Amino acid sequence: MAAQAFRSLARQRRSLYKFQNKDIPKDILKDILLTTQRAPSGFNLQPYACMLVQDPTDRNALSAAMLGDNVRKVKEAPLIAVFAADLEPSKRVPAIQEMMATAGQSTADIQQLPLKLRFFGGEGHLAGVIRSGISTALTPFQPVPTYVPTIAWSYKSTMLAVSQYILAAESHGIGSCVMEGFDETWVRHALDIPDRYSVPVVVASGYAAAENSQPPSPRLDPSQVFFGAKFGAPTSIFDEE
């Protein structure tokens, strides 16, 4: 039953472009946000923040940072969720360690957290050079994590939370539109977001307007996306029985 419910939820979800002038009840929004928090993240650091812009005056101010039709969406949707990725995740370590200790996790795991973070997502140019050098030097001899800049590392976890958010909203009949068309500097200024954060997406959220009847957007043939044990190798999973 759970698989059927999730399949229906995920496959019926589509981007929403027109919204009703109807607020999202507080208890429903709370449930969506608590579900969003259950999204996985690297070392459970949860390297993101989310601003919930609901007041029409605030939405109007935020709309000035948007591009094209996104201006209208931000003004129209009753809730705008602005997700921001932490580019200095090391500053979260003390709070995460305290959380781990309260949850009864091992002292070793708690103490190793800063080192793990430095190796996978440590910020700063010097840290990046060191991690890149270690990765390049050791890869011929043993598997090591591929170096990625901190922004990419934090974006990965942030977008997992975004995916969880839009599906949690969909489960309550609340549609969403994930938007990339905006000036990030203007967004940060409008919402007082510190420079330490970067905004990957802004999500307009709300109930669908009656005239909203967007058909599902097409997808590539599964054979172009899913392969066998080697890249490009065919898989028989989608063959007709």
CA dihedral in degrees (154, 156, 158, 161; nearest 10)?
Answer: -150
What pLDDT digit, counting tens, does each position of 108-125 carry? 999 999 888 887 766 655
For residue 63, give the DSSP letter.
Answer: H
What is the assigned CATH class of domain 13-224?
Answer: alpha beta
Tokens read off for 145: 């994590």
What pLDDT digit, counting tens, does each position of 44-66 carry? 999 999 999 999 999 999 999 99
State how far the Cα of 88 lies from the Cα of 125, in Å rounded to an integer: 12
The pTM for the full model equals: 0.90
Of 93, 47, 66, 63, give the one whose Cα is nearest residue 196: 47
What pLDDT digit, counting tens, does each position of 173-217 carry? 999 999 999 999 999 999 999 999 999 999 999 999 977 667 888
pLDDT at 157: 97
What pLDDT digit, counting tens, does each position of 66-79 carry? 999 999 999 999 99
Buried b (16+ CB within 10 A) or exposed e, 143-167: eeeebbbbbebbbbbbbbbbebbbb
Any idea where the domains of the chain sit in the sequence? 13-224
**In angstroms, what CA-CA distances link 110 with 93, 102, 175, 214?**
9, 11, 39, 48
State how far the Cα of 21 lies from the Cα of 206, in Å rounded to an integer: 8
